[in-house]
Amino acid sequence: MSLFYAALAIAGTILTYNLMKKVYVKFYTPFMVPIVTSTVFIVLFLLLFHIPYETYMTGGEWIVHLLGPAVVALAYPLYKQIDTIKKYGVSIVTGVFVGTFIGIVSGIGLALLFDVELLTLLSLVPKSVTSPVAMDIALVIGGNPTLAAVFVMVAGVLGAVLGPYLLKWMRINHFIARGIGFGTAAHGIGTSKALEMGEQEGAISSIAMTLSTIFASILSPLLVQLLL
């Protein structure tokens, strides 16, 4: 029976995502990003039919296992843009470092401004890096890994939804800047959005996402000690 539920969960998730992707292509607005609309649809479906989360995850966990290969697959656009990456290497590394630093400091600053409890604050620190790394960082600095994963999801969705508007408003058109922005601030979800803009943006976003995890792993404990 569990195998049956797993198959239903996998099929339902794939069908929902593909459906929402078609809706996104038709209307093409950042607020209709498939990962947002499909997530909302699945959550509402589970609540409406009183389906336990654990039942859904019998199949959902198999999809989670595909995250690793999906990240590895991002190496392909990197390979195709290797000459560009070599040319702008210093700018990319500098931009990602500064972006990671500002992301951590701004998160801590806002949390202190609104008097957020310490556990929540520490869980917020690694919000801009991919979930597995963010959870490890949160654990090291004294945060809650599960809560950190939630903040990562929120940061990614907000980056994918609001990022295009922000770039347009600030008139940022260079593919290096756009790629660094999405990869550093919104990790994998942002990289997916960057790939829609172009292969160059996607490649830069991919390397920015990777570099930001390294910088965040080093900077997070140091900045927490300095600022708290």
Q: What is the pLDDT of residue 71?
A: 66
Flag whether 70 is in a domain: no
Q: Within this chain, do residues 159 and 84 fall inside the same structural domain, yes or no?
A: yes
Q: What is the pLDDT of residue 65?
A: 74
Where is the domain boundary, 17, 40, 65?
65
Flag whether 162 is in a domain: yes
Flag whether 211 is in a domain: yes
Where is the domain boundary, 42, 65, 88?
65
Where is the domain boundary, 15, 33, 65?
65
Q: Within this chain, do residues 96 and 202 fall inside the same structural domain, yes or no?
A: yes
Q: Within this chain, do residues 42 and 96 fall inside the same structural domain, yes or no?
A: no
Flag whether 14 is in a domain: yes
Burial annotation 54-68 (CB, 10 A radius, 16+ → b, else e)? eebebbbeeeeeeee
Split the chain (228 residues) into runs of 10 and give each run's mean pLDDT: 76 89 82 83 90 81 74 72 85 94 91 89 90 87 88 88 89 92 89 86 88 91 88
Q: Within this chain, do residues 116 and 155 fall inside the same structural domain, yes or no?
A: yes
Number of domains in the chain: 2
> What is the domain extent for residue 167?
75-227
